[in-house]
Amino acid sequence: MKLNIDYIINKLSDLLKIPSPSGDTEKAIQFVEDEFKSMGISTYRTNKGALIGTIEGLNTDKEVTLSGHVDTLGGMVKEIKSNGRIMFTQIGGYVWSTVEGEYVNIENSGGKRYSGTILTTKASSHVHGEETKTIERSMKNMEIRLDERVSSKEDVESLGINVGDFVFFDPRVTVTESGFIKSRHLDDKAGVVSILGIAKYLVENNIKPKYTTNFFISNYEEVGHGASAAIPEKTFEFIAIDMAAPGEGQTSDEFSVTICAKDSSGPYDLELKKRLVTLAKENDLSYQIDIYPYYGSDGSAALRAGHDFKVGLIGPGVDASHSFERTHKEAIENTIKLGILYLTK
């Protein structure tokens, strides 16, 4: 099974550079839609703005759906302070200390972007001494310093910046010669390009999957309701492709595809998990089986919404999840191969 890994990593780099926090994902959705259309895959949008692409299978009576989410962590302007600094509220679940010092862009309603930096309100050790180290990292103590000559609320408002404008984190995308991809938002753009890689392989090799296959690109996963609705009605099995989380006490790593047995929402389907493990083992893929106590997926959202189908979860290992993340191209490659095997064997 030969994959065009250069295509996949190039598309991942391009997608990572498109800001798409939950609630402002149109440009990223359009990017994925354009890729599907270039392959001749028919697509449509849900009312909520998610994207669904479909490849007809040998069996059209039942369907399978693979999901990946294009929405990411981010922020939104909460308050413009009297000193020209900006308080922001979180989009998605991250610890405040993981974004301290991060470069950001704020996009006003007219589409103009202004750069800035996330700092604590007592960032200078020469001014605040020990407080710089001890100040609690929380919404009230974090702010954005704009790279503009502003010193009042009115100065900021004159730029067209208002409460409710989106804050984009600089992903700082880096692809190393050793095959690592370092960037924010690999969760879950690494999963989305895995879906593109699966689709591209099927199309270029004129392979029909066993069942008509839907690729569900959700846009609200980070806030909990990404795939809660609009899943194609004939779906009898659903595979979420989302990042795996290596770390202390985990089996996941940055080079393998991980098959998730259980997360915070409970166990995934046992028979489907066993089938995925068998496919990985029999085809010499590098794989792991893991459990995540602080994790939910589009599969979790679908089950909570009452959908009646089997759900599995696979994905590439992504280190430092919801922080400055890293994975390796081998993890993405193994994820794509398992997805292809699942659809065709």
Query: Which tens digit of pLDDT belongs to each residue from 210-265?
Result: 999 999 999 999 999 999 999 999 999 999 999 999 999 999 999 999 999 999 99
Q: Which residue numbers in the chain have pLDDT < 50?
A: none
User: Whose CA is closest to 191, among 300, 327, 294?
Assistant: 327
pLDDT at position 271, please? 98
pLDDT digit string (tens) for 6-30?
A: 999 999 999 999 999 999 999 999 9
pLDDT at position 338, please? 98
Q: What is the DSSP string of 50-83?
A: -EEEEE--SEEEEEEEEEEE--B-EEEEEEE-TT
Structure pTM? 0.97
User: Where does residue 26 fall: left (phi above 0), alpha (psi -120 to 50 degrees), or beta otherwise?
Assistant: alpha
Please, is 53 exposed, middle or buried when counting C-beta atoms within 10 Å of its C-beta (0-12, 13-18, 19+)? buried
pLDDT at position 1, please? 85
Amino acid identity of residue 327, one-letter, is T
pLDDT at position 150, please? 98
Show which residues are catalytic: 221
